[in-house]
Chain A
Amino acid sequence: MAKITKNIDEVTIRFAGDSGDGMQLTGGQFTTATAFVGNDLATMPDYPAEIRAPAGSLAGVSSFQINFGATEIRTPGDQSDCLVVMNPAALKVYLKKLREGGSIIANADNFNEKNLRLAAYESNPLQNDSLGRYQVYSVEISKLTQNALKDLNLSPKIVDRTKNFFALGLTYWMYNRPMEPTLKWIKEKFAGKEDIIEANTRVLKAGHAYGETTEIFTVRFEVAPAQLPPGRYRSITGNEATAWGLMAAAKRANLELFLGSYPITPASEILQELSKYKNYGVKTFQAEDEIAGITSAIGASYGGALGATNTSGPGLALKTEAMGLAVMLELPLIIIDVQRGGPSTGLPTKTEQADLLQAVYGRNGEAPIPVFAACSPTDCFDTTFEAARIALKYMTPVIVLTDGYIANGAEPWLIPRISELPDLSPTFVTNLEGFAPYKRDPQTLARMWAIPGTPGLEHRIGGLEKENITGNISYDPDNHHLMITTRAEKINNITNDIPPAKLVGDESGDLLVVSWGSTYGAVHNAVETKRNEGLSVSHLHLKYINPLQKNIGEILKNFKQILVPEINLGQLIKILRDKYLVDAVGFNLVRGLPFSAVEIENKIDEMIKRG
């Protein structure tokens, strides 16, 4: 039977299976192959908090979604076009995220009585007509894998572990992806274990050949390369980009990078990533707790390093007092909060935007800290670098907000040239003449930075209120007011040092959708769709939350309605209302999931209709 090749612009695939089925690895390999083709892409892993939930259970399902295309891709996709499921539980959990008419590739061998029961299926969905609205490919993946390896004399356990490569090979065939990057990866990963290399290679190829030769597959898809700006690209996750952003900033500042950290989901990868680079002027310190994570970083900054700490919401709460200390000391410090579902332990592996007010306001006393938010995996690099620029120039801690969604997600990254990034080198005071610890640069209001080891500049700083200029302890009421307002002014002044906000769409109209952080992609897509339909809607995305860009007030004035979608109960909206007295409307869904573009589109329709 002849196979047909269809050209399509964009596809979303989800690989889902038990935690032990290797779905993250499968997704990662598919991502590499897709990047290799030159598609634009975005990915989203979704996995349980438990390391090993009971096999076959609904709680133990792990999945990886990738959206790729010939056009610009901004989200990992709302609904999947193709769902690869390794067991019934995976089908149960993710079927509702499969679009109507989408394809299901199921490992039929795992749809046995026990697994069906664990997934609460009364009968086998592959064998009744419950999946009539989808294109179901029921494939005996386990058996086919065993057949491919039967002469290799491997244990059944090892054989079973390779079955994800069968699914991968089959999807490579279906979406016309090259096998070479994965074959190369297998060789490197299992170097020295010839039998494992042989097994994985065979199974991958068997999956591919199965698509080619079996009659049930009649259509394969072609997705042309995307028109991305020219240059060299790689795939990068948000956490990797954050780590590399810190390294790039330290490099361009000629400083040693010091990360004080305590493991916490979903931020730990930043610590793990940086711990690899000891020969790059990076020191990582896994501290005894979150507080030691930040205070050690403050100590390192005091000594003239670029101090940084990374955490998630609960850790940010623990670091609160130390952030106030950094404000008082006026030392550069980068605080990265990879947000997750809260409050308390909340949903550690799920995403949320509910730390915004904690970041902006959550400290004792008047303790202003700049807060910047990254909007995508690659933007984590830019945002972190920008945070370092501001921290060093203004002698201030800066908070970078990312979240689990973009931290774990990946997309192609146009690799920058280090030498073309801005120079962030600070000036350390070395001359006693005119030195006072709290003497300020008249323009930035940044205080002088003299580091231990500099002869003659021995001085004392601390968390008690400082006397203006001298830095001596002062309880003077007027001095306190002066210092409070000076610190606030210093942070507000940063608004003069950041670019004005840019709108997508017209400068005035019926509706402005304002987003921040990781909702960028979904909002952008939704606004684009609605503009194409002729609606008068524009999009304003905020990277700078504190201080806000200068022209925000002006922009807000020109729209009849303002919509603020957030994965919280309305936090940015409070800041906008407070600052600009605007009658903005919130759109708030707090499910541990990113918004889908469709959800935003429906809300836009509702707002426009209401008028």
Chain B
Amino acid sequence: MNTIPIYTTKDFQSDQDVRWCPGCGDYSILAQTQRVFPDLGIPKEKTVFVSGIGCSSRFPYYMITYGFHGIHGRAAAIASGLKIAHPDLSVWVATGDGDGMSIGGNHFIHACRRNTGLKILLFNNQIYGLTKGQFSPTSLQGQVTKSTPFGNIDHPFNPLSLALGAQATFVSRTLDRDPKHMQTVIKRAAAHNGTAFVEIYQNCNVFNDGAFELWTEKDSKDDNVVVLENGKPLIFGKNKDKGIRLNGFTPEVVSLIDGKYTTSDLILHDEKDPMLAFILAGMSGIQNLPRPVGVVYAVEKSTYEQLMQNQIDDITTKKGIGDLEKLFNRGETWEVK
């Protein structure tokens, strides 16, 4: 039996010059990925990073694995073909909010729906970076960008809700400024059997600086982020003094110190609960609610490539391995002498 070599972070660091802008959140994503990969137990040669176009999509060049830098929006489709043809590969998609949600939106939702075993890292910076500052499908309404000088009038996507709506089996969110958390989430995604979606809040310090600072900066994040942990109540705040409870179907922030509510009144996170997942995902963008990060939803469901293999095995058991010569000569044939 082949044993997997013991890797270090360095084994995944390529010799290519990294060409992201200094201070870009992408550096952290790259670093955390390189840091966790030695722990995943996947042989390097079995790992493929597929990307589309954009800043995020330079990612494959910086990893010493197999890499495929595709065309705008199509990473998930390319990766799907690769994964279906070769289910033994660990196929990762590095994409951005423009690449993955706009031009590649169709491929994204279908990759979620099919559960094709892809690991999709969405670098969400709420802006087009490589084309220099136009709004993206996750840009905020009112956001002034190069192509919306009077403010953006588009309603933004909430990537978590989109992924859930598309029947994804693993939906999560993490932050470029929280390395430990990101490492945990990436590891969870890697271990998931099926398509795993990871939204990463990633700061574009050139075109959309500070877009996520409320949730990433030291003095504000504790009061504005709730870290989801399976089986645990939704508690947050600098002093762990706030929680989220459900009022009907509506989540609301309650104080844990004024005596009205205790932790037993709070939402207990259950990664397998699809209804709760929609509620948690929906908290994004609602004023006065903290932003949830972590694994929102994770369920086991048969993967596309496994179902395909089952069909192949089933038919092969019933009919035997196909013989082309026999197939060509099957049915109505006749001999000319």
Per-residue interface assignment for chain B, residues 272 to 310, with 1 indicating a CB less than 8 Å from any chain A CB and 0 otherwise: 000000000000000000000000000000000000100
A303 & B106 in contact (Cβ 8 Å cutoff): no
The answer to the question of A598 belonging to the interface, with a C-beta cut-off of 8 Å to chain B, is no
Per-residue interface assignment for chain B, residues 304 to 333, with 1 indicating a CB less than 8 Å from any chain A CB and 0 otherwise: 000010011001100111101101110111
- B333 contact set on A, CB distance < 8 A: 232-234, 415
- B65 contact set on A, CB distance < 8 A: 458
A291 & B336 in contact (Cβ 8 Å cutoff): no
- A256 contact set on B, CB distance < 8 A: 85
- A285 contact set on B, CB distance < 8 A: 80-81, 84
* Alpha-carbon distance A307/B80, docked complex (angstroms): 13
The answer to the question of A472 belonging to the interface, with a C-beta cut-off of 8 Å to chain B, is yes
Partner of A453, one of B86, B308, B325, B336: B86
- A456 contact set on B, CB distance < 8 A: 45
Partner of A248, one of B78, B84, B109, B324: B324
The answer to the question of B214 belonging to the interface, with a C-beta cut-off of 8 Å to chain A, is no
Q: Check A251/B107 contact, CB under 8 A, given A36-B334, A234-B333, A298-B78.
A: no
- A279 contact set on B, CB distance < 8 A: 312, 315-316, 319-322
* Alpha-carbon distance A473/B19, docked complex (angstroms): 12
Q: Check A455/B43 contact, CB under 8 A, given A230-B337, A279-B319.
A: yes
Chain A residue at smallest Cβ distance from B325: A418
* Alpha-carbon distance A277/B312, docked complex (angstroms): 9
Chain A residue at smallest Cβ distance from B323: A280
* Alpha-carbon distance A258/B305, docked complex (angstroms): 13
A287 & B71 in contact (Cβ 8 Å cutoff): no
* Alpha-carbon distance A251/B68, docked complex (angstroms): 27
- Chain B CB within 10 A, most for which of A229, A300, A305, A458: A458
B322 & A281 in contact (Cβ 8 Å cutoff): yes
Q: Give the Cβ gap from B267 to chain A, nearest Cβ, in Å.
A: 35
The answer to the question of B245 belonging to the interface, with a C-beta cut-off of 8 Å to chain A, is no
B61 & A473 in contact (Cβ 8 Å cutoff): yes
* Alpha-carbon distance A256/B79, docked complex (angstroms): 17
- B81 contact set on A, CB distance < 8 A: 258, 260, 285, 295-300, 303, 307
Chain B residue at smallest Cβ distance from A35: B334
A233 & B334 in contact (Cβ 8 Å cutoff): yes
Interface hits, B42-82 → A, CB 8 Å? 43-46, 48, 50-51, 53, 60-61, 64-71, 74, 77-82
A462 & B68 in contact (Cβ 8 Å cutoff): yes
The answer to the question of A6 belonging to the interface, with a C-beta cut-off of 8 Å to chain B, is no
The answer to the question of B88 belonging to the interface, with a C-beta cut-off of 8 Å to chain A, is yes
Q: Check A303/B86 contact, CB under 8 A, given A251-B324, A296-B77.
A: yes
- Chain A CB within 10 A, most for which of B48, B64, B77, B327: B77
The answer to the question of B3 belonging to the interface, with a C-beta cut-off of 8 Å to chain A, is no
Chain A residue at smallest Cβ distance from B14: A460
Q: Give the Cβ gap from B29 to chain A, nearest Cβ, in Å.
A: 17
The answer to the question of A283 belonging to the interface, with a C-beta cut-off of 8 Å to chain B, is yes
- A228 contact set on B, CB distance < 8 A: 336
- A458 contact set on B, CB distance < 8 A: 44-45, 64-67
Q: Check A291/B77 contact, CB under 8 A, given A231-B336, A322-B71.
A: yes
- B337 contact set on A, CB distance < 8 A: 230
Per-residue interface assignment for chain A, residues 295 to 316, with 1 indicating a CB less than 8 Å from any chain B CB and 0 otherwise: 1111110111101000000000
Interface hits, A413-430 → B, CB 8 Å? 415-419
The answer to the question of A17 belonging to the interface, with a C-beta cut-off of 8 Å to chain B, is no
The answer to the question of A500 belonging to the interface, with a C-beta cut-off of 8 Å to chain B, is no
- B84 contact set on A, CB distance < 8 A: 258, 283, 285, 296, 300
A325 & B70 in contact (Cβ 8 Å cutoff): yes
The answer to the question of A247 belonging to the interface, with a C-beta cut-off of 8 Å to chain B, is yes
Q: Check A295/B77 contact, CB under 8 A, given A454-B45, A461-B69.
A: yes
The answer to the question of B192 belonging to the interface, with a C-beta cut-off of 8 Å to chain A, is no
The answer to the question of A50 belonging to the interface, with a C-beta cut-off of 8 Å to chain B, is no
Q: Check A453/B89 contact, CB under 8 A, given A279-B312, A458-B64.
A: yes
- A36 contact set on B, CB distance < 8 A: 332, 334
Chain B residue at smallest Cβ distance from A298: B78
Partner of A244, one of B80, B311, B315, B328: B328
* Alpha-carbon distance A416/B333, docked complex (angstroms): 13
Chain B residue at smallest Cβ distance from A277: B322
The answer to the question of A70 belonging to the interface, with a C-beta cut-off of 8 Å to chain B, is no
- B77 contact set on A, CB distance < 8 A: 287-288, 291-292, 295-296, 299
* Alpha-carbon distance A419/B316, docked complex (angstroms): 22
Q: Which residues of B contact A (CB under 8 A)?
A: 14, 16, 43-46, 48, 50-51, 53, 60-61, 64-71, 74, 77-86, 88-89, 106-107, 109-110, 308, 311-312, 315-316, 319-322, 324-325, 327-329, 331-337
21 contacts between A and B (CB under 8 A): A35-B332, A251-B324, A258-B81, A283-B85, A291-B77, A292-B110, A295-B70, A295-B77, A296-B77, A299-B68, A299-B78, A299-B79, A299-B80, A303-B81, A304-B85, A415-B329, A415-B333, A453-B46, A455-B45, A458-B45, A461-B67
Q: Which residues of A contact B (CB under 8 A)?
A: 32, 35-36, 38, 181, 225, 228-235, 244, 247-248, 251, 256, 258, 260, 277-281, 283, 285, 287-289, 291-292, 295-300, 302-305, 307, 321-322, 325, 415-419, 452-464, 472-473
Nearest 8 interchain pairs by C-beta: A462-B69, A296-B81, A299-B81, A280-B322, A460-B67, A300-B85, A299-B82, A292-B77
